[in-house]
Amino acid sequence: MTSPDGVRVWHPGRPVPVAALLRQQRRGAGDPTHRLDVDGWHWRASRTPAGPVSLAISSQRADGGVEIRAWGEGSTWALAQAPALLGDLDDWTGFVPQHPVLEDARRRHPHLRLGRTGRVLEAVVPAIIEQKVTGQEAFASFRALVRRHGSPAPGAGAGHHLMVQPDAATLRSIPSWEWLALHIDPARSRAVVTAARHADALERIGDLVGEHAGKEAERRLRSLPGIGVWTSAEVRQRALGDPDAVSFGDYHVAKDVGWALTGTAFDDAGLAAYLAPWRGHRGRVPFLVAAAGLRRPRHGPRMAPREHLRTRDQIA
Protein backbone atom coordinates (compact mmCIF):
# COMPACT_ATOMS: atom_id res chain seq x y z
CA MET A 1 0.00 0.00 0.00
CA THR A 2 1.38 3.42 -0.93
CA SER A 3 1.88 5.91 1.88
CA PRO A 4 -1.19 8.09 2.39
CA ASP A 5 -1.13 11.82 1.81
CA GLY A 6 -2.92 12.35 5.09
CA VAL A 7 -4.07 10.41 8.15
CA ARG A 8 -6.57 11.27 10.85
CA VAL A 9 -7.72 9.37 13.92
CA TRP A 10 -11.15 10.54 14.95
CA HIS A 11 -12.45 9.83 18.47
CA PRO A 12 -16.22 10.41 18.30
CA GLY A 13 -16.96 9.41 21.89
CA ARG A 14 -19.74 7.09 20.72
CA PRO A 15 -20.09 3.85 18.76
CA VAL A 16 -19.84 4.36 15.00
CA PRO A 17 -21.05 1.57 12.67
CA VAL A 18 -18.73 2.63 9.87
CA ALA A 19 -19.81 0.11 7.22
CA ALA A 20 -23.52 0.78 7.78
CA LEU A 21 -23.02 4.53 7.51
CA LEU A 22 -20.98 4.30 4.31
CA ARG A 23 -23.51 1.89 2.83
CA GLN A 24 -25.95 4.84 2.75
CA GLN A 25 -23.78 6.34 -0.02
CA ARG A 26 -23.17 3.17 -2.04
CA ARG A 27 -25.21 2.57 -5.19
CA GLY A 28 -25.52 -1.20 -5.20
CA ALA A 29 -23.04 -3.86 -4.16
CA GLY A 30 -20.96 -3.36 -7.34
CA ASP A 31 -20.57 0.42 -7.00
CA PRO A 32 -17.02 1.12 -8.27
CA THR A 33 -16.68 4.14 -5.96
CA HIS A 34 -17.00 2.00 -2.80
CA ARG A 35 -15.53 -1.19 -1.39
CA LEU A 36 -16.63 -2.13 2.12
CA ASP A 37 -15.24 -4.63 4.62
CA VAL A 38 -11.87 -5.28 2.99
CA ASP A 39 -9.59 -6.59 5.76
CA GLY A 40 -11.28 -4.31 8.28
CA TRP A 41 -11.16 -1.22 6.06
CA HIS A 42 -13.87 0.54 4.11
CA TRP A 43 -12.91 2.31 0.89
CA ARG A 44 -14.51 5.28 -0.82
CA ALA A 45 -13.49 7.39 -3.84
CA SER A 46 -14.87 10.87 -4.32
CA ARG A 47 -14.28 14.16 -6.11
CA THR A 48 -13.82 16.99 -3.60
CA PRO A 49 -13.58 20.75 -4.24
CA ALA A 50 -9.79 20.31 -4.13
CA GLY A 51 -9.65 17.26 -6.40
CA PRO A 52 -10.15 13.50 -6.28
CA VAL A 53 -9.53 11.46 -3.15
CA SER A 54 -9.35 7.85 -2.02
CA LEU A 55 -10.38 7.21 1.57
CA ALA A 56 -9.67 4.12 3.64
CA ILE A 57 -11.70 4.19 6.86
CA SER A 58 -11.14 1.64 9.59
CA SER A 59 -13.83 -0.06 11.58
CA GLN A 60 -13.99 1.46 15.03
CA ARG A 61 -10.99 0.41 17.10
CA ALA A 62 -10.96 -0.88 20.65
CA ASP A 63 -9.93 2.57 21.91
CA GLY A 64 -12.98 4.11 20.22
CA GLY A 65 -11.01 5.74 17.44
CA VAL A 66 -11.72 5.58 13.72
CA GLU A 67 -8.64 5.86 11.53
CA ILE A 68 -9.01 7.57 8.18
CA ARG A 69 -6.30 7.48 5.51
CA ALA A 70 -6.46 9.63 2.39
CA TRP A 71 -4.70 9.78 -0.96
CA GLY A 72 -4.97 12.48 -3.62
CA GLU A 73 -5.46 16.21 -4.03
CA GLY A 74 -8.67 16.13 -2.02
CA SER A 75 -7.09 14.54 1.06
CA THR A 76 -7.14 17.58 3.36
CA TRP A 77 -10.77 18.42 2.52
CA ALA A 78 -11.94 14.82 2.86
CA LEU A 79 -10.20 14.24 6.19
CA ALA A 80 -11.79 17.38 7.63
CA GLN A 81 -15.21 16.30 6.36
CA ALA A 82 -14.95 12.64 7.44
CA PRO A 83 -16.89 13.00 10.73
CA ALA A 84 -19.85 14.50 8.83
CA LEU A 85 -19.68 11.61 6.37
CA LEU A 86 -19.98 9.29 9.38
CA GLY A 87 -23.01 11.07 10.84
CA ASP A 88 -21.41 13.45 13.33
CA LEU A 89 -23.68 16.34 12.30
CA ASP A 90 -26.89 14.34 12.53
CA ASP A 91 -28.91 15.59 15.48
CA TRP A 92 -31.91 13.50 16.57
CA THR A 93 -33.02 16.08 19.14
CA GLY A 94 -36.75 16.65 18.79
CA PHE A 95 -37.53 13.32 17.17
CA VAL A 96 -40.04 11.29 19.18
CA PRO A 97 -40.79 7.85 17.68
CA GLN A 98 -44.50 7.85 18.74
CA HIS A 99 -44.94 4.27 17.55
CA PRO A 100 -43.82 0.93 19.08
CA VAL A 101 -42.24 -0.20 15.80
CA LEU A 102 -40.16 2.97 15.57
CA GLU A 103 -39.26 2.82 19.24
CA ASP A 104 -38.04 -0.75 18.80
CA ALA A 105 -36.08 0.12 15.65
CA ARG A 106 -34.43 3.05 17.42
CA ARG A 107 -33.59 0.87 20.39
CA ARG A 108 -32.07 -1.82 18.17
CA HIS A 109 -30.14 0.64 16.01
CA PRO A 110 -29.25 3.48 18.40
CA HIS A 111 -26.04 4.45 16.61
CA LEU A 112 -27.33 4.75 13.06
CA ARG A 113 -27.18 8.29 11.75
CA LEU A 114 -27.51 10.11 8.47
CA GLY A 115 -24.16 10.83 6.87
CA ARG A 116 -23.44 14.00 4.89
CA THR A 117 -21.03 14.00 1.94
CA GLY A 118 -21.32 17.68 1.04
CA ARG A 119 -20.91 16.66 -2.65
CA VAL A 120 -24.09 17.42 -4.52
CA LEU A 121 -23.35 16.50 -8.15
CA GLU A 122 -21.99 13.19 -6.89
CA ALA A 123 -25.45 12.47 -5.43
CA VAL A 124 -27.45 14.00 -8.30
CA VAL A 125 -26.00 11.84 -11.08
CA PRO A 126 -26.92 8.39 -9.71
CA ALA A 127 -30.25 9.69 -8.38
CA ILE A 128 -31.26 10.81 -11.88
CA ILE A 129 -30.09 7.51 -13.32
CA GLU A 130 -32.34 5.71 -10.81
CA GLN A 131 -35.49 7.57 -11.88
CA LYS A 132 -38.36 5.25 -12.85
CA VAL A 133 -36.26 2.15 -13.52
CA THR A 134 -35.48 -0.95 -11.48
CA GLY A 135 -32.60 -0.79 -9.03
CA GLN A 136 -30.85 -3.55 -10.98
CA GLU A 137 -30.93 -1.53 -14.19
CA ALA A 138 -29.97 1.74 -12.51
CA PHE A 139 -27.00 0.26 -10.67
CA ALA A 140 -25.74 -1.39 -13.86
CA SER A 141 -25.98 1.89 -15.79
CA PHE A 142 -24.21 3.82 -13.04
CA ARG A 143 -21.42 1.23 -12.89
CA ALA A 144 -20.96 1.44 -16.64
CA LEU A 145 -20.91 5.24 -16.58
CA VAL A 146 -18.22 5.35 -13.89
CA ARG A 147 -16.08 2.63 -15.45
CA ARG A 148 -16.21 4.11 -18.96
CA HIS A 149 -16.05 7.81 -18.16
CA GLY A 150 -14.73 8.07 -14.61
CA SER A 151 -11.08 8.01 -13.57
CA PRO A 152 -9.01 5.66 -11.40
CA ALA A 153 -8.99 6.68 -7.77
CA PRO A 154 -5.71 8.18 -6.57
CA GLY A 155 -3.08 6.33 -4.56
CA ALA A 156 -3.99 3.08 -2.91
CA GLY A 157 -7.57 3.37 -4.11
CA ALA A 158 -6.53 2.39 -7.62
CA GLY A 159 -5.02 -0.80 -6.22
CA HIS A 160 -8.46 -1.68 -4.90
CA HIS A 161 -10.02 -0.96 -8.33
CA LEU A 162 -11.82 2.14 -7.07
CA MET A 163 -13.02 4.70 -9.58
CA VAL A 164 -14.02 8.35 -9.20
CA GLN A 165 -17.24 9.53 -10.82
CA PRO A 166 -16.77 11.55 -14.04
CA ASP A 167 -16.45 15.29 -13.52
CA ALA A 168 -18.94 17.83 -14.84
CA ALA A 169 -16.95 18.60 -17.99
CA THR A 170 -16.82 14.91 -18.90
CA LEU A 171 -20.55 14.46 -18.31
CA ARG A 172 -21.29 17.41 -20.56
CA SER A 173 -19.18 15.91 -23.36
CA ILE A 174 -20.76 12.42 -23.49
CA PRO A 175 -22.64 12.09 -26.81
CA SER A 176 -26.26 10.99 -26.98
CA TRP A 177 -25.51 7.58 -28.49
CA GLU A 178 -23.11 6.79 -25.66
CA TRP A 179 -25.83 7.48 -23.08
CA LEU A 180 -28.03 5.00 -24.94
CA ALA A 181 -25.20 2.45 -24.84
CA LEU A 182 -25.21 2.92 -21.07
CA HIS A 183 -28.97 2.13 -21.07
CA ILE A 184 -29.80 5.66 -19.96
CA ASP A 185 -32.67 7.08 -21.98
CA PRO A 186 -32.71 10.62 -23.43
CA ALA A 187 -34.87 12.12 -20.67
CA ARG A 188 -32.49 11.01 -17.94
CA SER A 189 -29.30 11.80 -19.88
CA ARG A 190 -30.58 15.32 -20.61
CA ALA A 191 -31.22 15.79 -16.89
CA VAL A 192 -27.69 14.62 -16.02
CA VAL A 193 -26.11 16.91 -18.62
CA THR A 194 -28.24 19.85 -17.43
CA ALA A 195 -27.10 19.21 -13.86
CA ALA A 196 -23.48 19.07 -15.03
CA ARG A 197 -23.91 22.44 -16.75
CA HIS A 198 -24.99 23.89 -13.38
CA ALA A 199 -22.40 21.98 -11.35
CA ASP A 200 -20.94 25.02 -9.59
CA ALA A 201 -24.36 26.17 -8.39
CA LEU A 202 -25.26 22.65 -7.31
CA GLU A 203 -22.10 22.27 -5.26
CA ARG A 204 -22.87 25.47 -3.38
CA ILE A 205 -25.93 23.66 -2.01
CA GLY A 206 -23.50 21.47 -0.09
CA ASP A 207 -22.48 24.50 1.97
CA LEU A 208 -26.00 25.02 3.32
CA VAL A 209 -26.40 24.45 7.05
CA GLY A 210 -28.98 25.31 9.66
CA GLU A 211 -32.66 24.80 10.27
CA HIS A 212 -33.82 25.79 6.79
CA ALA A 213 -31.00 24.22 4.78
CA GLY A 214 -33.13 21.33 3.56
CA LYS A 215 -35.96 23.57 2.35
CA GLU A 216 -33.57 25.88 0.49
CA ALA A 217 -31.72 22.92 -0.97
CA GLU A 218 -34.98 21.49 -2.28
CA ARG A 219 -35.90 24.82 -3.87
CA ARG A 220 -32.57 25.06 -5.67
CA LEU A 221 -32.50 21.44 -6.76
CA ARG A 222 -36.04 21.47 -8.12
CA SER A 223 -35.34 24.61 -10.14
CA LEU A 224 -33.44 22.36 -12.57
CA PRO A 225 -35.37 20.44 -15.25
CA GLY A 226 -35.45 16.71 -14.54
CA ILE A 227 -35.08 17.04 -10.76
CA GLY A 228 -38.38 16.45 -9.01
CA VAL A 229 -39.49 15.65 -5.50
CA TRP A 230 -38.06 12.10 -5.45
CA THR A 231 -34.67 13.02 -6.89
CA SER A 232 -34.36 16.06 -4.62
CA ALA A 233 -35.03 13.94 -1.54
CA GLU A 234 -32.54 11.27 -2.58
CA VAL A 235 -29.86 13.94 -3.06
CA ARG A 236 -30.60 15.78 0.17
CA GLN A 237 -30.49 12.56 2.17
CA ARG A 238 -26.96 11.77 1.00
CA ALA A 239 -25.32 15.11 0.32
CA LEU A 240 -26.84 17.02 3.26
CA GLY A 241 -27.99 14.30 5.66
CA ASP A 242 -31.38 16.05 5.62
CA PRO A 243 -33.59 14.35 8.25
CA ASP A 244 -36.79 15.74 6.71
CA ALA A 245 -36.16 14.41 3.19
CA VAL A 246 -38.73 11.78 2.19
CA SER A 247 -38.57 9.95 -1.15
CA PHE A 248 -42.15 10.57 -2.22
CA GLY A 249 -42.75 8.89 -5.56
CA ASP A 250 -40.66 5.85 -4.68
CA TYR A 251 -42.10 2.51 -5.76
CA HIS A 252 -41.71 0.99 -2.28
CA VAL A 253 -41.27 3.64 0.45
CA ALA A 254 -44.90 4.69 1.03
CA LYS A 255 -46.18 1.11 0.81
CA ASP A 256 -43.51 -0.24 3.17
CA VAL A 257 -43.97 2.48 5.80
CA GLY A 258 -47.75 2.08 5.75
CA TRP A 259 -47.53 -1.69 6.02
CA ALA A 260 -44.93 -1.57 8.83
CA LEU A 261 -46.74 1.02 10.96
CA THR A 262 -50.44 0.49 10.21
CA GLY A 263 -50.71 -2.85 8.43
CA THR A 264 -52.01 -1.14 5.28
CA ALA A 265 -49.85 0.13 2.43
CA PHE A 266 -49.91 3.91 1.90
CA ASP A 267 -49.89 5.88 -1.29
CA ASP A 268 -47.86 9.11 -1.34
CA ALA A 269 -50.76 11.25 -0.10
CA GLY A 270 -51.37 8.86 2.77
CA LEU A 271 -47.67 8.84 3.65
CA ALA A 272 -47.48 12.63 3.64
CA ALA A 273 -50.48 12.89 5.96
CA TYR A 274 -49.15 10.21 8.31
CA LEU A 275 -45.70 11.82 8.54
CA ALA A 276 -47.01 15.32 9.25
CA PRO A 277 -46.47 15.11 13.06
CA TRP A 278 -42.76 14.47 12.46
CA ARG A 279 -42.19 17.55 10.26
CA GLY A 280 -38.52 18.43 10.44
CA HIS A 281 -37.68 14.76 11.01
CA ARG A 282 -40.04 13.03 8.56
CA GLY A 283 -37.23 11.19 6.79
CA ARG A 284 -36.30 9.39 9.99
CA VAL A 285 -39.50 7.34 9.86
CA PRO A 286 -38.74 5.50 6.58
CA PHE A 287 -35.07 5.44 7.64
CA LEU A 288 -35.94 3.47 10.79
CA VAL A 289 -38.42 1.23 8.97
CA ALA A 290 -35.69 0.34 6.47
CA ALA A 291 -33.09 -0.15 9.20
CA ALA A 292 -35.43 -2.63 10.88
CA GLY A 293 -35.73 -4.53 7.61
CA LEU A 294 -39.51 -4.08 7.51
CA ARG A 295 -40.92 -4.49 4.01
CA ARG A 296 -44.42 -5.40 2.99
CA PRO A 297 -44.71 -8.90 1.49
CA ARG A 298 -43.93 -8.85 -2.21
CA HIS A 299 -46.57 -10.57 -4.35
CA GLY A 300 -46.35 -11.42 -8.02
CA PRO A 301 -43.34 -11.24 -10.34
CA ARG A 302 -40.63 -8.67 -9.74
CA MET A 303 -40.42 -5.74 -12.13
CA ALA A 304 -38.12 -6.73 -14.98
CA PRO A 305 -35.50 -4.44 -16.51
CA ARG A 306 -36.57 -2.88 -19.78
CA GLU A 307 -35.31 -4.43 -22.98
CA HIS A 308 -35.53 -1.19 -24.98
CA LEU A 309 -35.24 2.51 -24.28
CA ARG A 310 -37.75 5.25 -24.89
CA THR A 311 -38.09 8.83 -23.79
CA ARG A 312 -40.09 9.14 -20.61
CA ASP A 313 -41.18 12.05 -18.50
CA GLN A 314 -39.10 12.88 -15.46
CA ILE A 315 -40.65 12.31 -12.08
CA ALA A 316 -42.80 15.22 -11.01
| 288 phi, psi to nearest 5 deg | -70, -40
From 89, 119, 135, the end of a domain falls on 89
What was the pLDDT predicted at 76? 98
Average pLDDT estimate for 72-99? 96
Distance from C-alpha of 140 to C-alpha of 28, rounded to nearest angstrom: 9
Same domain membership, residue 291 and residue 173? yes
Distance from C-alpha of 129 to C-alpha of 215, rounded to nearest angstrom: 23
Q: Range of 176's domain? A: 90-316
Same domain membership, residue 297 and residue 201? yes
Same domain membership, residue 306 and residue 233? yes
| Residue with the larger pLDDT of the pair 272 and 304 | 272
Strands 34-38 and 6-10: unpaired
Say whether pLDDT at 302 is over 90: no
1 falls within a domain:
no
Say whether pLDDT at 295 is over 90: no
For residue range 208-262, what is the model confidence (pLDDT) as tens digits?
887 788 899 999 999 999 999 999 999 999 999 999 999 999 989 999 999 999 9
Same domain membership, residue 27 and residue 65? yes
- Terminal C-alpha separation, the chain: 47
Same domain membership, residue 211 and residue 171? yes
Q: What is the mean pLDDT of the chain?
A: 92
What was the pLDDT predicted at 303? 46
CATH number of residue 251's parent domain: 1.10.340.30
| Confidence grade of residue 272 (pLDDT, cut at 50, 70, 90) | very high
Say whether pLDDT at 206 is over 50: yes
Say whether pLDDT at 51 is over 80: yes
Average pLDDT estimate for 22-39? 93
From 62, 89, 116, the end of a domain falls on 89
| Residue with the larger pLDDT of the pair 211 and 311 | 211
Same domain membership, residue 173 and residue 66? no
Q: Read off the pTM.
A: 0.91
158 falls within a domain:
yes
71 falls within a domain:
yes
| Confidence grade of residue 299 (pLDDT, cut at 50, 70, 90) | low
From 49, 73, 89, the end of a domain falls on 89
What was the pLDDT predicted at 308? 41
| Confidence grade of residue 316 (pLDDT, cut at 50, 70, 90) | very low
Same domain membership, residue 99 and residue 56? no
Number of domains comprising the chain? 2
Helical ranges in the chain per DSSP H: 18-23, 75-85, 100-108, 120-129, 135-149, 156-159, 168-173, 176-181, 186-197, 199-205, 213-222, 229-235, 253-262, 268-275, 284-291
For residue range 131-175, what is the model confidence (pLDDT) as tens digits?
989 889 999 999 999 999 999 999 999 999 999 999 999 999 999
Same domain membership, residue 221 and residue 134? yes
Torsion over CA of 307, 311, 314 and 316, rounded to 10 degrees?
A: -100
Say whether pLDDT at 274 is over 80: yes
